[in-house]
A and B are shown apart, each in its own frame.
Chain A
Amino acid sequence: MSKPPDLVQGTLDLLLLKILALEPQHGWAISQRLKQISGDVLQVSDGSLYPALHKLEQEGWITAEWKTSELGRRAKFYSLTRLGRRQLARESANWDRLSNAISQVIRLQES
């Protein structure tokens, strides 16, 4: 599977879960939102978004539903499940711990 090279392993899952926690979205909207909120820093190639979504769906963290989009076109909307919410909490905590630790190390070097 092709992975976005500029994302730390596993962080894509966290970002997708976080975005979907706000509201159910289809793939295109997710990719736009990702770009928009990270200020174009985090770029995920269009294609590699979908295998990641399908993986989350298979894990039971998100679930998909075909609905009519804003433009009147049928689209596959993903939303967070209860399991996904739990997973998000876990991964956020992990991320906090990791980023804190890294910040500590970096500060150590400066002093």
Chain B
Amino acid sequence: MRLEHWLYTIPLRLRSLFRQSQVERELAEEFEFHLEQRIASEIASGATPEQARYTALQAMQGIEQHKEDCRDMRRLNWVENLMRDLQYALRALAKTPAFTAVTVATLALGIGANTAIFSFVDTVLLKLLPVKDPLQLYLVAYHPAKPHTTWNYPDYVAMRNHNTQFTGLAAYSLSLSTFGLQTAASTQQAAEITYGIFVSGNYFDVLGATPALGRLFDAQDDRAPGAAPYIVLSYSYWQSRFSGDTHVIGRKLWINGYPLFVVGVAAPGFTGADVAFRPDVFIPIMMRGQVMHFPFERWNNRKNWWMAIIGRLKPGASIRKAEGELFAVCKDQEAAERRTTSDPRWISTAEQIVLQPGARGYSYLADTLHKPLLILFVIVGLVLLIACANIANLMLARGAARQREIAVRLTLGASRGRIVSQLLTESVLIAVLGGLAGLVFALLGTRVLASFVQEMSWAPVMGIRAAVDARVFGFTLAICILTGLLFGIAPALQSTRPDLVPALKEDVPGSTGSSRVTLRKALVVFQVGLSLPLLTGAALFARTLGNFRALELGFAPENVLIASIDPAQFGYNGQRVRNFFDHLRARAAALPGVRSAALAGMTPLSGSSWNDIIDVEGYTWKSGERKTAWVDNVGPGYFHTLGTPVILGREFVEQDNPTTTMEPARLKLGEPPPDAPGRHVAVVNETFARRFFPNRSPLGMHVHLTFQSPTAYEIVGVVKDAHYYSLRDTTQPMVFIPIWRVAPQSASLIIRTTASSTQIAPLLRREIKALDPVIPLRKIHPLTEDVDRMILIERLVATLSAFFGALALLLSAVGLYGVVAYTVTRRTREIGIRMAVGAARSSVLWLVFRESFGMILLGAGLGAIAAFAATRLVASFLFGVGTHDPLSIALAALALAFSAAIASLLPAQRAARVDPLVALRYE
């Protein structure tokens, strides 16, 4: 029925739209025919031709009106009108190129900024994983606030095998592993760096991923440790590293020296369940022991927490029930462990299981961007509003210029609605033009944002990729139309007010514009009111950044490079690791331009952490006091190289290391490690010394690290406090022990040099190659990079808020200038009279300034209230400055006042130069 209706009507509509002239002709012909028939019939009944024609026309009563009614019946008028309005708008814009350029440029910045931020908001917060039915995916977490939960292998297996609500539960390593890749078995060829994750056999199946080539893993690959020597490549890695060669299937690749067969390539676009990682390779969990030289027995326990669990709920499954089942499994696991372990301190217990929606994937990196992105989104939204106010202001001025034209059209019978819709068409057209120009700006903006985000990541395959795609384009278009209506509606209604028709009779410019001026002033107040919170925010963030920069770090990061090398990847352990690093350090120290070199288990602000439960000689714990301290193992010359002053005693020397080296294989989880003989010495930081030895020197006193060694360490030195974990926290007690007191696994080489990392890297590679040709230099980076990364979000927000604050200031100043200049023109006669009766130029200047300062004051007052309320939302981003920082608000107000003064100066001067004679004749 409906279909049949369209069958008849659609061709008609199309015809009226595209064959308009023919339809018009037919309409005329139809009426003409009727008229002729009528005339003929009148003549037939005896009338003269003239009479007949008169009667016929009489009977028709206004042919044109009837024709218009027929056109209305076609119901296509709005399309025709729109076309006509668009043509008209284009012509009108072309006639005022300056206006068009300014408005389009303003909008390009405003809309472009919104587009750029939105593309990231979309990627981080909105976009679903590119997998099958992502809404069915859930991450298994043990805390509602932490979707970033890690699990151990036995718990995963138990949960996978005992649940009824999931079609499958998959596991994958939560962090990216750095592998050394070789394409042939060789002890001479250096390994390439490649990044990958370990996945359970059902990983691809649960995510609904398909192969582009070969096969992906399946449950068979979970059978036994070491029994699935396979590897799957990501599509992009297959393309870039193997040039898309289909013969790669079945080829052997040596990962960390262990051979794996390539069985497949994942579909293009598939990057796993973490939006911030794009792993090159996927390896079965069952191969973790072989590839990482970390036997299955050592990680198949409830001590090693390293993987994420993601599941696909069955359609109609209950989340609550699934949580309950998994929690029961965890409790069983715990109880089983309790029966076999002697030391209950080592048993991890889960308090609850929470299923977190996994449709958007989870990523720590993306998570840290949530709040800053939302703040930036608000900022660019405000800037766009300010831009809208500015353009509305310009449109009002333009409306004044077109007042007569509009009045004429109203008088000639055009309906107000038609004229309003025409003016709105014009503003939406401006907005769309601005949006198109804004896309260019947005591309630039996304690149700036991407470079910030890239700094957060330590690997090239990490980071958030945001592209200006169809979704973003749709958002931009919606924003364009919205802004077009927003800045167009007030001016359109204003300039078509019926009481403006008298404008026709008068010729004095602006004589009817008093309500227009009020509106324009209100817009400026609005702009200023929005600018103040933006500027306050920019000031707060700038001061925060300044405070971070001025922070005493406790070490001198300039001219320090950190090199990561991981010989354990290639099966080194125990004495071999120690020898490797000791030799490498000696060689590095001898390189040209290197002042000193040292080893450390962990470097400051690297993101790693280690703490232990301690006991301190002669110190009684207060009730409720946390008995923990941070620990690091460092080599001789570490504090000297890092630039941390030794306040008391000495730092470590070679002799502080034990003479025999512990083999990691002999370590048993759940028990303190066997102790290497020799004198146990430690260095502590100032906070440690102050806290535990407030009245005496700590030198010679002992500290016991519960899980590190049964022997207590004698304190031989005190070093200055340094920020190891975050720049925000106050320093905690910290204990340093000699580097090889810890069973050697991996270490970082710290080099103090005036050379850059790119200069040192090849020299260092040569030294590594001399020690072992296979081992790659994983990474070398300046320590300042780690410091910068800690305040990356703050830098991002500070930089962008400063930029947008300046933009807001500029827009407000332009808006103010426009209004002040306009009122000066309007008041030329008044000013002339004042001057004629003896007003001084200074009082005329004051007249103008008073007006603009009035607007600024009102706007700033309202803005200050808004800023007061809003800055609390950004409290977590501030450092060393309160949310209600009077100085920041004062700075913002000062900037506004200054720009207002500049914006009013030109019109004020013009007012003061008014010649009374000319002004009085002015008309």
* A and B interact physically: yes
| A residues adjacent to B (C-beta < 8 A) | 1-2, 26-28, 31, 45-48, 50-51, 54-55, 57-60, 63, 66, 69, 73-76, 81-83
The number of residues on chain B lying at the interface, defined by a beta carbon within 8 Å of a beta carbon of chain A, is 30
B70 touches A54 (CB 8 A): yes
Q: Mark B7-34, 1 if CB is under 8 A from A, else 0.
A: 1110010000000000000100111011
A73 touches B36 (CB 8 A): yes
Is B146 interfacial (CB 8 A cutoff)? no
A54 touches B4 (CB 8 A): no
Is B625 interfacial (CB 8 A cutoff)? no
State which residues 59-79 of B face A: CB under 8 Å: 59-63, 65-67, 69-70, 72-75
Given A1-B69, A47-B61, A54-B74, do A27 and B8 touch, yes or no (CB 8 Å)?
no
- With a CB–CB cut-off of 8 A, which chain B residues contact A60? 4-5, 7-9
Given A47-B66, A50-B66, A51-B70, do A59 and B30 touch, yes or no (CB 8 Å)?
no
Q: Mark B62-99, 1 if CB is under 8 A from A, else 0.
A: 11011101101111000000000000000000000000
Other-chain contact of B65, A47, A63, A76 (Cβ < 8 Å): A47
A46 touches B69 (CB 8 A): no
| B residues adjacent to A (C-beta < 8 A) | 4-5, 7-9, 12, 26, 29-31, 33-34, 36-38, 56, 59-63, 65-67, 69-70, 72-75
A33, B5: Cα distance in complex, Å: 28
Other-chain contact of B59, A2, A26, A45, A83 (Cβ < 8 Å): A45
A84, B373: Cα distance in complex, Å: 59
Q: Give 4 nearest A-B pairs by CB, closest first.
A: A60-B8, A51-B69, A47-B66, A28-B37
- With a CB–CB cut-off of 8 A, which chain A residues contact B66? 2, 47-48, 50-51
Q: How far is the CB of A70 from chain B (nearest CB, A)?
A: 11
A28 touches B33 (CB 8 A): yes
B63 touches A47 (CB 8 A): yes
Other-chain contact of B60, A26, A46, A58, A75 (Cβ < 8 Å): A46
Q: How far is the CB of A52 from chain B (nearest CB, A)?
A: 8
A59, B74: Cα distance in complex, Å: 10
A28, B60: Cα distance in complex, Å: 12
Q: A60-B8, A73-B33 are in contact. List 7 more A-B contacts (CB 8 A).
A: A2-B66, A27-B33, A45-B60, A51-B73, A57-B73, A60-B7, A83-B5
Given A51-B73, A60-B9, do A45 and B61 touch, yes or no (CB 8 Å)?
yes
A58, B767: Cα distance in complex, Å: 86
A76 touches B70 (CB 8 A): no
Could you name 8 residue pairs across A and B whose Cβ atoms are closer than 8 Å?
Answer: A2-B65, A2-B66, A47-B66, A51-B72, A54-B69, A58-B74, A60-B5, A73-B36
- With a CB–CB cut-off of 8 A, which chain A residues contact B30? 27, 50, 75-76
A58 touches B33 (CB 8 A): no
Q: Which residue of B lies closest to A62 (CB)?
A: B8
A59, B59: Cα distance in complex, Å: 27
Other-chain contact of B8, A28, A45, A63 (Cβ < 8 Å): A63
A59, B73: Cα distance in complex, Å: 10
B69 touches A75 (CB 8 A): no
Other-chain contact of B29, A2, A51, A54, A74 (Cβ < 8 Å): A74
Instruction: Point out which of B29, B70, B72, B74 has the most chain A C-beta atoms below 10 A from its C-beta.
Output: B70
- With a CB–CB cut-off of 8 A, which chain A residues contact B56? 46
Q: How far is the CB of A84 from chain B (nearest CB, A)?
A: 9
A58 touches B72 (CB 8 A): no
Q: Which residue of A lies closest to B66 (CB)?
A: A47
